[in-house]
Amino acid sequence: MSAEVQEQSVPLSKIDSAIDDAPASPSESKPRHRRTSSTVSGVFRIEDLEKEGTDLKIAPETQKLNWKVNSSPSTIEDKEVLKKLLCTPPIKKIDLHFPLGLEVTARNMKGVTIKDAVDAIYKQYKKKADDELGDPYLAGFEWDREECFTKFIVHQKKSGDAPSGSGGKKKKGKGEEA
């Protein structure tokens, strides 16, 4: 019988050592913060900036996009501009307000870029025909801290500037062959 006691004591010691290696409570094995991936240092909530009275600067490149709001953002020639932050300091989300009352929200936890803003606008206008749009081209954004700190006003214009490159669609017509 002493052999049985020894066999039982060996497995018990192994079980005991396994228990000792486990954390004391389940909360110790979890990370301290739940969403570490979505919090980026240096990116702010616009409400926090409003409390601090921080001024925002909108990227001037938005005025030179020459982009038709019902065409895909991929038609914008300068792809590097799309990667730039919409404003400084960077913010997590911004409401884009159109003069006729429409409002869209651009979001990006790493800082709203120009692409995020045009994507949000395009989502609203992609099913509209050209003749339904009074001012189809994006002219830029305006921030009026007195009127509404947490929104950018979207400006539009009747026609886009002449394209600088050979990109863009040609209008269908007869005798356009060179």
The pLDDT > 90 percentage for the chain reads: 47
Query: What are the sequence ranges of the domains in the chain?
Result: 46-157
Q: Indicate whether 119 pLDDT > 70.
A: yes
The whole-number average pLDDT for the span 8-21 is 52
Asked whether the beta carbons of 130 and 53 are under 8 A apart, the reply is no
pLDDT tens per residue, range 35-79 = 555 567 889 999 999 999 999 999 999 998 889 999 999 998 888
Give the predicted TM-score (pTM) of the model. 0.68
DSSP assignment of 7-36: HHHHHHHHHHHHHHHS-SSHHHHS-SSS-T
Q: Name the one residue in this structure whose structure tokens are 């040609």.
A: 170
Asked whether the beta carbons of 121 and 66 are under 8 A apart, the reply is no
pLDDT of residue 78: 87
The mean predicted confidence, pLDDT, of the chain is 78
Q: Indicate whether 166 pLDDT > 70.
A: no
